Structure 1
Amino acid sequence: MSTKLIKDKTVSTRVTADISERAKNNLAKQGLTISEYIRLSLVKAANNEVRLVSFLDSTEALAAKREAETGQVKTIGTLSDFDNWIDKLDEN
């Protein structure tokens, strides 16, 4: 009886060429390929061994929140401007 696992599912994602290249270079320093890293990450996620990161608790997000709460913001457009910008993103 064979104990070899059949890997029959492909998972893909899209990132910029810059992100891909930097990730490849940094992972290579640790002896990993991007594919190996993603495979290991998915195994950890499947085994519930992943600690999720809340980007809303980052230093930058908390600083932005403090600025908004203390009125240290400036208006750069209207809600309509924002809606138009989102619509243009959806077109691409």
Structure 2
Amino acid sequence: MSASIIEDKIVSTRVTADISERAKDNLAKQGLTVSEFIRLSLVKAANNEVRLVSFLDSSEALKAKEEAEASQVKTVGSLDDFDVWIDIIEQKK
């Protein structure tokens, strides 16, 4: 009888501290650690059980694309307005 040795592979990734903490908190509510979640996700990817979601293929995105291609767009503000809006969102975090 021969013994086989299974070698583990360490996989790492970088995310912001905020993302890490929010993920940790949300996964804990489901009884998982970040490591367990990533391990389960990688097993699913290895078994071709992952369905990638493309938001660009949604009905809303396709409709917006059709409208843009037909020049049926309307300007609702400037880039400065957009920057202000982003700043407001960032302050609420």
Normalised by the size of structure 2, how large is the TM-score?
A: 0.60
SS in 2 for 1:32: coil
1:56 matched to 2:56? The reply is: yes
Is the Cα contact below 8 Å between 1:67 and 1:73 reproduced in 2?
Answer: no
Letter in 2 for 1:55: F
Seen in structure 2, the aligned counterparts of structure 1 residues 63 and 3 have a Cα distance that, compared at 3 Å, is farther
Gaps of 5+ in 2: 80-93
| Sequence identity percentage | 76
* 1:14 aligned residue: 14
> Which structure: larger Rg?
2
How far has the Cα of 1:65 moved from its partner?
2.4
- Between the aligned partners of 1:62 and 1:55, the Cα distance in structure 2 is 9
Seen in structure 2, the aligned counterparts of structure 1 residues 53 and 4 have a Cα distance that, compared at 3 Å, is farther
Can you list the C-alpha shifts for 1:24-78, whole angstroms capped at 9, x where unaligned? 11100000011100000000111111111113224664465245224326696xx
- Between the aligned partners of 2:18 and 2:36, the Cα distance in structure 1 is 19
SS in 1 for 2:15: coil
Q: CA RMSD in A?
A: 3.0
Seen in structure 2, the aligned counterparts of structure 1 residues 33 and 3 have a Cα distance that, compared at 3 Å, is farther
* 1:35 aligned residue: 35
- Between the aligned partners of 2:15 and 2:59, the Cα distance in structure 1 is 24
- Between the aligned partners of 2:60 and 2:19, the Cα distance in structure 1 is 20
* 1:45 aligned residue: 45
Count of residues in correspondence between the two structures: 76
Gaps of 5+ in 1: 77-92
SS in 1 for 2:30: coil
Normalised by the size of structure 1, how large is the TM-score?
A: 0.60
